[in-house]
Structure 1
Amino acid sequence: MNVRRIRHGGVLLEVMLAVALFVAAGLAVVSASDRASMASEHARLAVRAGDLARSAMALIEAGLATPESLHGPVRSWRSIAGAVDEGPVAEGPAPDERGWELQIQTEPLALDGLVKVSVEARLLSESGLVRASRRLIQVVPSRGGGA
């Protein structure tokens, strides 16, 4: 009878070890998946910040907007284009633009007619921390009052 108990105890120990290994492997997979999801979200926000900074710089370069008019919370690009085209205007930020802001600084250069423009697109969390940020610095032609 003692041999039977030892065998049953050995089988129970093997089953417990197998379950523990299975749970540990499952936790490792879930943890890796969570990290990959967070990295993907961070990359998506970084791309969005770059898109917003490039779009703002393009509007400034084209003379469709001044740095002062774009500085602050991101407005719907449709509303900016609507102001230029005098068509229907979508007021307020688009759902994907909530929490984003543009910090735009200009600095006159020694060369006549050129201005250094720095555009930073930032996504702020509700606590005020910066979740994503992208800065673009470029020299653009001065538009008179835009510097």
Structure 2
Amino acid sequence: LEYRWAFGSLLCKVSSYLVMVNMYASIFCLTCLSFDRYLAIVYSLSSTKLRSRESMILSLGMIWLLAGILALPALILRQTQEKYNRTICDMDFSVVGDTDVEHYWIAGLSLSATAMGFLLPFLLMSIFYCSIANTVTRHFHNIKKEEKKKRRLP
């Protein structure tokens, strides 16, 4: 296709939107999975109500809703454009302002996508898995102490 968009404006919008929804939903599902593991290991007994089927369904619904909302700029701003004698699928910021503020929109969307699609999930997953590692380490350390006590007893 030589970097040409041959599928029209509607598919330009829809395919870009679906790519973004998929990106956000995937990372949010991974983050929720690590939160579930965190609850199961760190708070195993007290988290059973929070880890119910109903909570899982509600969480998945919220994930997809949030992913759909965060991906809306792709649906709204993507357009087919003629550049360099080729039709391309690109962001068109003329809908939201003039060309003087276009770079602010690009920066804002890039920063929000990076923050919501990478930095925040990475931070949360790091916290969850470090807490899990700490809990597991303490557990095995306590088991070793108990084994040493048992060996000392006659």
Work out whether the TM-score is over 0.5.
Answer: no
Q: Tell me: higher relative CO, structure 1 or 2? Use CA pairs within 8 A at least 6 residues apart.
A: 2
More helix by share: 2
Q: What's the TM-score, normalizing by structure 2?
A: 0.33
